[in-house]
Structure 1
């Protein structure tokens, strides 16, 4: 209860912000409504009434001269509740004429008439519109006038008088209604904003709590979404990130354990054989030389492991820059295969090398040499009992494709993407590699990604695997 109260009283919390914004929005809307309906209503009414009378006057000017003009005056005056008259130059009434049994038109003060005609004659466009106070009705009236031309050349004047009815009673009614609407809207705004703020902030609070648990190393945490697409997308992204972090953490632990094992084994052998030389074989040349050879081999293996770790670290951190130049991929591969000639002589391996003409490519030759060496070494390690490895270099026009195939057990489809991971070949039960350090394919991936080229694996279980990459020709 205390924590919930703190969240609501915290001015920077999402709940508080949403609640405050919603209430402020309602207050602004109600303020605008009050201003329009109460403060500006009278001004707005006068403006609209004035524009209406001017519009009527302009319409009558255009209708003047028609046979039914007097009927138009009568109907318009009756419908609109305004006085419409046609006066002559002396201020006398011309239209509407008074028929039998019909009430006479309201009398116009001669003083007002003379002022009206004077203003109309002084106008530039023959049209006037002004407001005067009617002392009898104690209310303002709108006067519209326009000059009309009679057939005999005499000037006639269109006179329209519209009363601006007082709207105090209307304003009073609106004010009472607005008070009720304001109270109801305020209560509704507070309650609705509380519900919305709680509903929006709840999944975000849950995500925050889950993120705190993740920061403490709990990778089993699950981020839950809510009723909103954006929050669901955030939860899905964080769940994906959590899964990837969990994999990375697992790889990190495996890497440390495996490297520790690979470091410990040669160090143990070096120490053991050094002690044997000291205690047993120091004076026996044959045994001493055999023991020294073990020490040298293990030292070389240790050096190779350290170098691979350093190379992998440089590639992943971006320190090791790619220096591109043009070189012949076929000749480079042929030169590297000479290093594996000893495997043919001692262990019966067969290397089938097929190369197209014109295999000039662009790339970092030294790093591509390392890539080819690691891929061939990997195929040697995993090829079948026939000890057969095929290397193909194909000219595809814009690209030259390097391929190395083995005849081993192949890789299941669900594990192909994992092959590039460090120490994948050893799995959970790590054992010392017969050759290499277990980091070769990770280094290959880093080099090829730094070159921004296409690469991949084609493998069929029981038939073998093919590793390939492409380099641009220009």
Structure 2
């Protein structure tokens, strides 16, 4: 894959690399920046749930084991005291290790079996406590007493410990260590334990990020190369098509979108090949049609100059031929110019009410000299027809081209029919000849420019029916053709009233 930053493969690789960097950047932020806040929030919620569990079990005879289990599972320090700070019970995550030695406060207890201190060490509050009350316990009691809902929660100023308290109301039951008395629940838990985890994660993420980026960029390179190859192949084939080589097929099979693009380019190549063939035929036809009258004009002009200048009758005949061929040449040029003007849309149609029956008679009158000379017969069949909406000059051109086409392709009887029908909302005009007909496989192409039917001995530029199509489309008219082999063809169109 060549390094071209605007190429499809390179852009795909860069986007994949940026996407990978964004993902790992977001992961880095979540793990190292937001993890502490997320952890603190989860710890606080967990402490509150533990307090609710203790409150629910305050009358249980198994309250001590419940508290020991909660402290062990959640790494907590729990004290149960009265409002003056006298300890009913205390527990931490290590309570199970000295289960047999621990004692708790009772009114007649003199045993101080506390493994946390020597025998001559005085407790902060009283003998018999499981462990010393934490510092700031008096502030905790004050905060709790000033609480409206009997709960309090706050982190210490150092930010490394979270304190939560709850008043356990008296219940009257004396089946456990509380003896049904009102008690104060104190819970504390560290908040800085996640710092070590964050440090480990930071180091781990550095290596994981570097390794993942390397692996991701390598994978992205091969993915971009795999995606870029069919695009490059199609691009090369499209360049060949631009150079005039319309043969060959476009690569398919990679993905449906590229398959659709290949199909579209294949259809485009086929259309361009056909247009190129039409262009060549047009050049051949136009060259022939231009050369023939020009040759005759030159020949008869020389004849007038050299032979018939003094013979008035012969001279007039030769000059008439020159004029006829000049008119033929002018008609050919005008046909090309007319189609060019319709394509450029510089002259939009000027709609008016058109008497289509009179227009048909006017156009047929233009063919009278040809009909008398070559024996053609144009028959008009119509009932009274209303006027239609359209551009008079353009509709005259449509009728002229259709009748001229019928004359060129009618049978030996030289018969052409023009039929007008009054429909509900439109007037239908049909132009029928009795020639060889049009093959079914040529129906899609007869309205296209430069097309001339070889099976109908087509001559000319191939623009006559293309001009008809352009005009009828601008008039939003419905049009078509019907044809059977050896029975002739019928071209029709419908104009709104």
TM (norm. structure 1) is: 0.84
Instruction: Say which of 26, 29, 32 aligns to 2:26.
Output: 32
Q: Given that residues 210 and 223 in structure 1 are in contact (C-alpha distance below 8 angstroms), is that contact kept between their aligned partners in structure 2?
A: yes
Q: Secondary structure at the match of 1:404?
A: strand
2:54 and 2:427 map into 1 onto residues whose CA distance is 89
In the other structure, the counterpart of 2:468 is 444
In the other structure, the counterpart of 2:94 is none
In the other structure, the counterpart of 1:460 is 484
1:219-278: per-residue Cα shift (whole Å, max 9, x none)? Answer: 336443461322222222222222222222222232223212211211111121121122
In the other structure, the counterpart of 1:327 is 354
What does residue range 45-444 of structure 1 map to in structure 2 within 5 Å?
Answer: 45-58=39-52, 60=54, 63=56, 70=63, 73=67, 76-77=70-71, 79-94=73-88, 103-104=102-103, 106-109=130-133, 112-132=136-156, 140-150=160-170, 156-164=183-191, 166-167=193-194, 170-171=197-198, 174=201, 177-220=204-247, 222-225=249-252, 227-342=254-369, 345=372, 347-422=374-449, 424-425=451-452, 427=454, 439-444=463-468
> 116-125 vs 306-315, which deviates more?
116-125
2:280 and 2:221 map into 1 onto residues whose CA distance is 47
Q: Given that residues 353 and 392 in structure 1 are in contact (C-alpha distance below 8 angstroms), is that contact kept between their aligned partners in structure 2?
A: yes
Shift in alpha-carbon separation, 1:23–1:410, aligned structure 2, 3 A: same
Q: Given that residues 203 and 226 in structure 1 are in contact (C-alpha distance below 8 angstroms), is that contact kept between their aligned partners in structure 2?
A: no
- Higher share of residues assigned helix: 1
Q: Given that residues 401 and 468 in structure 1 are in contact (C-alpha distance below 8 angstroms), is that contact kept between their aligned partners in structure 2?
A: yes
2:77 and 2:131 map into 1 onto residues whose CA distance is 10
Q: Given that residues 437 and 456 in structure 2 are in contact (C-alpha distance below 8 angstroms), is that contact kept between their aligned partners in structure 1?
A: no
Q: Secondary structure at the match of 2:443?
A: helix
1:350-385: per-residue Cα shift (whole Å, max 9, x none)? Answer: 434332444332111221111112112211221222
Deviation at 1:142, TM superposition (A): 2.2
In the other structure, the counterpart of 2:17 is 23
1:451 and 1:68 map into 2 onto residues whose CA distance is 98
Q: Given that residues 70 and 96 in structure 1 are in contact (C-alpha distance below 8 angstroms), is that contact kept between their aligned partners in structure 2?
A: no
Q: Secondary structure at the match of 1:219?
A: coil
RMSD: 3.4
1:408-455: per-residue Cα shift (whole Å, max 9, x none)? Answer: 11111111222234454464999866xxx7532222122112223221
> 262-271 vs 225-234, which deviates more?
225-234
Shift in alpha-carbon separation, 1:114–1:230, aligned structure 2, 3 A: same
Shift in alpha-carbon separation, 1:249–1:96, aligned structure 2, 3 A: same
1:431 and 1:114 map into 2 onto residues whose CA distance is 113
Shift in alpha-carbon separation, 1:104–1:362, aligned structure 2, 3 A: farther
1:34-90: per-residue Cα shift (whole Å, max 9, x none)? Answer: 4433454444333321221123335555x3776679476565445434344443221
Q: Secondary structure at the match of 2:278?
A: helix
Q: Given that residues 91 and 110 in structure 1 are in contact (C-alpha distance below 8 angstroms), is that contact kept between their aligned partners in structure 2?
A: no
**Which segments of 5 or more consecutive residues in structure 1 lack a partner in the other structure?**
none
> In the comparison of the two structures, how many residue pairs are matched?
457
Shift in alpha-carbon separation, 1:459–1:104, aligned structure 2, 3 A: farther
> 108-117 vs 145-154, which deviates more?
145-154
